[in-house]
Each structure stands twice: as C-alpha cells, then as structure tokens.
Amino acid sequence: MLTEIDHVAIAVNDLEAAIAYYRETFGAETVHRERIDSDGVEEALIKVADSYVQLLTPTSDASPVAKFLANKGEGIHHVGYRVASCAQALDAVKAGGHRVIDEAPRPGSRGTTVAFVHPKGAFGTLIELVEE
Ligand code: CO
C-alpha cells in the first residue's frame, strides 16, 4: 500500500537558516515553498531523488508545529508515505482499530490529498498518507 517515502518532515525554528544549511552543506536545493494557513505552517521542500525533505516552521502560536517545537525542540516531526489512494489507506488504518487524526482525506500541499495517522497506535511516529 505504501509505494514510496514521499517526505520526511523536520520542524525548525528558522526556515531560512535550515534551507541555507541544506544548500550549503549538501548542495540540496529547495524546489517548492508553500504557506498552508489551515495547518499554521510554512514549508520548504528539498528534493532528494524522488522524495523530499520537508522543512516545517509554524506561522502561528496555535500551530501544532509550534506546540511540537515548544515540547520537543527541533527535529523529525512526521514521515509522509505515498499511497495510490489516501481514502483506502486511511480506511485500512481504521479497520485495524488504530487511531487517526484525520477522519477523512483532506487537501495537502502541492495539490496532494493527505491524512494523518495518530502517533499513539503507530509506535510513536506521526504518519502522513500522501496521494499525489
Ligand atoms: Co507532511
């Protein structure tokens, strides 16, 4: 069901500094930037082969990423897996009796359709199902 790793999301305090770090240290370029007001985040996508590193920074104090940074500090926030059908993958999680954050698929960045699976029930990792 999981076809590829779409992205590894990393919560950072300073988006510009993190973008510069990846460019200067690894020659890795940002290929997409987007502000997602419904999630209270701004993202920068850095392409690595067919996957991305998604640098995430909060745009408001109410953002879940702001809470994450306050509680845990900078670091890996979630892993996004590509799926052919977000709805089908989400149903499979629910059918297995596991907790989800999104009861139904919703729009993500880059025109994707996404849903989040709760880390409690997924061995501590916040999982995002990503349909392109
Ligand atoms: Co994501």
Q: What DSSP assignment string belongs to 102-114?
A: -SS-EE-GGG-EE
- How far is residue 85's CA from residue 67's CA, in Å, rounded to a whole number? 30
**3-state DSSP percent of the chain in helix, strand and coil, to 5:** 25, 40, 35
Centroid of ligand 1 to alpha carbon of 66 (angstroms): 15
Span from the CA of 128 to the centroid of ligand 1 (angstroms): 6
CA distance 101 to 38: 15
CA of 13 from ligand 1 middle (Å) equals 16
Looking at residue 78, its pLDDT comes to 98
Q: Is 122 exposed, middle or buried (0-12, 13-18, 19+ CB in 10 A)?
A: middle
Whole-model pTM? 0.94
Q: If you measure from the C-alpha of residue 116 to the centroid of ligand 1, how many angstroms do you get, rounded to a whole number?
A: 9
Query: Tell me, what's the pLDDT at 92?
Result: 97
Q: What is the pLDDT along the chain (132 residues), one digit of tens a residue?
A: 999 999 999 999 999 999 999 999 999 999 999 999 888 999 999 999 999 999 999 999 999 999 999 999 999 999 999 999 999 999 999 999 999 999 999 999 899 999 999 999 899 999 999 999
